[in-house]
Structure 1
Amino acid sequence: MNNTNDLTNRTLTLERTFNAPIDLVWEAWTQPEHVAKWWAPHGMDLEVIKHDFSVGGKWKYAMPMPDGNQFISEGVYSEIVPQKKIVTTADFRPMTEGVELHIQFEKDGNQTKFTFSVIHETEEYCKQQEEMGFYNGWGSAFERLDKMLNDLT
């Protein structure tokens, strides 16, 4: 079997349990006014340029960088199952391009189990992204999400 085609070797995953109901966690992912508050790592701002939350809809966010440039995140939604799953393509220029995000939500009483997976084109690209700080970067954003959810509950 060719390991390049093995999703396990091409996927980076973060799992968390948020102390918030699933409808609130879903809203935090699907409403641009909420996304703007947490999508970026600590200390970074985010501008929501486009947010068409529908299958085939496009999203585009910009983070101003200290050097005056912008870090652009954008993609197209390919699957949306309300309060269960979001699948979207994603480019995070200039660092990451051509990945697919799989975001899963599972109700657990008044908490929400959350799984965030990023599928890369090759195993090598996946390893490179991990070494560049995937877990720290997304972990920081999800800490901001957790704080925002706690502030809203």
Structure 2
Amino acid sequence: MSDLTVIVEPGRHDIVVTRSFDAPRDVVYKAMTEPEYLARWWGLKESETVIDRADVRPGGSWRFVERMPDGQEHGFHGVVHDAVAPERFVWTFEYEGMPGHVCLETTTLEERDGRTLYTSVTVFQTVEDREGMVQSGMEYGLRQSMEALDELLATMA
């Protein structure tokens, strides 16, 4: 059973997500930052994720395209502000369908007894932007992605 926690406090500009994984943090970091692994867990189950680029280093950039069964494509991109393997990475996140609404995600990975605690803090420009993300079904998609990441990690560890 997943221990996914999504914290959305009223009036704040952030969303805090935590979850643990049964894998060492260097393996979790690799799965979360390397293109060959990202495409296998990121996005909805019914979609195909294409990794256009994933240059996870300070000054690098990333772009993923989620292809839906009906042919629609949803692009997401950002720039990497910080990356310290296997401890953390910080990048911007922007949905190409709503340009100009950029948030900053800080992901940290802490190893605890052979498991990894994942914490993501996403800060939005406005409370309204944050509410829009929540209303978009973010938690539903996040849950699917985290479950797929769990399955991938079981094959890597």
Partner of 2:84: 81
For residue 145 of structure 1, the aligned residue among 145, 149, 154 is 149
Matched ranges for 1:2-151 at <5 A: 9-94=12-97, 97-151=101-155
Structure holding more helix per residue: 1
CA deviations on 1:98-139 (whole Å, 9 max, x unpaired) are 111111100102100001222111112212211221211112
Partner of 1:3: none
CA distance in 2, matches of 1:143, 1:94: 25
CA distance in 2, matches of 1:117, 1:145: 18
Q: Contact 1:40–1:141 (CA<8 Å) still a contact in 2? A: yes
TM-score normalised according to structure 2 size: 0.86
CA RMSD of aligned residues (A): 1.6
CA distance in 1, matches of 2:34, 2:146: 16
Three-state SS of the structure 2 residue aligned to 1:142 is helix
| Larger RCO, structures 1/2 (Cα 8 Å, 6+ apart) | 1
Give the letter aligned to residue 132 of structure 1: S
CA deviations on 1:21-76 (whole Å, 9 max, x unpaired) are 11100110121100010111222111111121211111111111234231101110
TM-score normalised according to structure 1 size: 0.88
CA distance in 2, matches of 1:147, 1:45: 16
Q: Contact 1:21–1:112 (CA<8 Å) still a contact in 2? A: yes
Give the letter aligned to residue 101 of structure 1: E
Q: Which moved more, 1:66-75 or 1:9-18?
A: 66-75
Q: Percent identity?
A: 26
In structure 2, stretches of 5+ residues that fail to align are 1-10
In structure 1, stretches of 5+ residues that fail to align are 1-7
Three-state SS of the structure 1 residue aligned to 2:77 is strand
Q: Contact 2:17–2:121 (CA<8 Å) still a contact in 1? A: yes
CA distance in 1, matches of 2:151, 2:122: 23
